[in-house]
Structure 1
Amino acid sequence: MAIDHSRLDRVVLEARKARDERDKGYRERALKIYPWICGRCAREFTHSNLRELTVHHRDHNHDNNPPDGSNWELLCLYCHDNEHQKQLELAQRGVGGAGGGGSGRSGGGATHSPFAALQGLLKGNKPADS
């Protein structure tokens, strides 16, 4: 069965347009509500560099756009990327269950103990593999 690339391209284009329209709506509202200052690093923005100021959704739900802007904060591109990177790292750590107490290596902790036999070596015992 052949793939209709033109139809797929149209669907992707429509989805991107819808996203851009949605983004534009809450971005414009956020820029009217809040001062043009990054909420993390306090960098100030003007019309010339305003494109570098993003709207971050505090709950990470881009469909949650209350009229009062309570789910938004303005962040510069760098702080916004940093915030999302922190969320990715938290999600990766949570793979092993709450508190990282999962079995095997899924918790992300180290499993090798390089000094496990050190006390025996200091007492003059030979390593097990020699």
Structure 2
Amino acid sequence: MNALHLASERANGSVVITVTGELDLATRPELAAYTRHAIDVDGGTVIVDLSGVTFIDACGLSSLIALKRYAREHDRPLLLAGATPAVLRLLKLTNLDGTFTMVSRPGAVGTPTTGRTATGPALRSGSPGTDR
């Protein structure tokens, strides 16, 4: 089992939460508590950097959806950054790739564009205030 490691830092007025390891049933509560704390305490955008995620299952995806909803309820944008191929594949397979606002890397928050994954500064999928 690959443990989950979470770290956060402030960057450009945002909070970046770096996630390393597995997102699954066992690690869901830890990710939820850590990210909800950042949403509650820090103002501004919360960016979840998934570039270190080695495994994600339906429970991990469910936790990301719940966190997006929680952030929206607290008027905080939640973005996903650095999504690995495994994360992107799961989002696409579940038809949730249009639900999240995604950026190519944590420091790439700029003017988002709608649609596909690319290497530009920021990417946006879905419409604000919608969850599936």
Calculate the TM-score normalised by the size of structure 1: 0.20
Larger Rg: 1
Q: Which one has the bigger strand percentage?
A: 2
Q: Which one has the bigger helix percentage?
A: 1
Structure ranking higher on relative contact order (CA contacts 8 Å, 6+ apart): 2
Calculate the TM-score normalised by the size of structure 2: 0.20
